[in-house]
Structure 1
């Protein structure tokens, strides 16, 4: 993409499906791409996928990180992790997805064939360069707002399909058919659009080397996908996939993340304060009664703990010697009534203040 090699968004979906299968969550309820994963020209990339403990409803958060793999030439290097995707995994339940009649009969009835000759050359001219394995679009048809497509791996790659839930190159090629429909707004200048937010990804079969795909509108700048194998049996479905425009500058910035930087984040450990181990040093809490922090501290430590409405009040009420408390605690949480936008903004402003 714009001369930068990216891990395709469909590979993140595959990672999430594999992880979900390991913990009994076979449905990707949502998966949002936060940053592209650039594959460097030399060296490797370490992937870290984290699945959280289940909620009461059985859902699990999933997060995908990466960082450059350090080599023998830089044994002390400690590159930072970049978060690329976050989402939610869940169990799909007992519902069985029936085969779509539109995919069982192929080509679909009343669908008009579309010309795909030279399509990948046109992609390349707009900054999207696909290698042979990703050039899987074989034929396409249109019926109203729907687009149908046949997708297949090259013959020498068909055996690889069994390693995946849905081969990322196959699913990526299915998205190429978006260019044949009016799923995204046209613009005067060529634009690069990449998958951004996946919702409701469910599997019914794995390892197919070729696919029948139906794409249909699912709101503004989004599509739904129904996927079957060569015989029309259900393979997967995606309730909605939203795309967003990416500029070459954004991709160049992502590529620079693999270069050595003058700046880095670090964690500096501070020694425990002298009064932390039960001395007579004074502690203070701002707005402790409202936050509930004051009784917790009083029950946990032997140091005197005083409550003050705010920093100004603390300044007025300093001891006769003018000495500040050893520690001052400030509760900056959002309102417990709910994490709406206003309460989150308020919490952030209080913390900064």
Structure 2
């Protein structure tokens, strides 16, 4: 089995960050999201992976390389415009050949990986296998209607009246039967070739499409809130380790990882927290659930439940929470405004003004 990882797309829900970088490169616990996808694929025993890239192709190549760090062999496939998941399968036809393959959205985080899903797909060899999860608001997702035998009967893309609460989470296993399906479908109202339409075509033509459901932590990291939540999940599994410098006036509580080259002075850090190489934390309170990337600087500040990208600087902030702070961004206190008073006083008045 091969794998096809989608690492293109515009990432509109993560703007302005995605104006300058791919959404798959935003960090969870100081590692790009796409690294977790590639590691999950490697852990499932797949070795040959196609990576579909778009306008941020050079950044993806720089962050991922040839895949050898994960034990993978990568082939990069260029998608000139983000025209849908089924379109990505179309342009990958030569790479995929007649092999079964795993389709994996590169901005997804699954805590338990996909090893079990891949194994069951290889054993069953249904035309397609989908991974689903129950969600509180299915109108925001592709939704599957599944019968008592686990076979998919209907798929709908962001329905107004969902037939179930089972959402597609961006992990699919296909046999070569999918290639006829993606050639048969037409663009949706948003101008994309939808993978849900291709899978529905397979169902309508009598091909076996099976679903399995997970309730384990999963996040589509396409929004700030979901990225922060995925960061919390990963940090919950963090093991503490101090390779950098922590002075005697600092206190580390719980699972805190300080990378080599990082410096902590006169600060209190409550884990889980990760501090990247070259970062400096001084006279500050940090954590929990905070990831500080390489070369950041935090001074005279308090910050928690947040993600700071490389080179970010926070100075004099009384409290920052649930925030995503971009590369080289600077947060400082504003000058204190001059307080003035406008008075209209009658004769013989007496007024006391607080300083």
> Do both share a fold (TM > 0.5)?
no
TM-score by length of structure 2 reads 0.23
The one of the two structures with greater contact order (alpha-carbon pairs below 8 A, sep at least 6) is 1
Based on CA coordinates, which of the two structures has the bigger radius of gyration? 1
Question: TM-score, normalized by length of structure 1?
Answer: 0.23
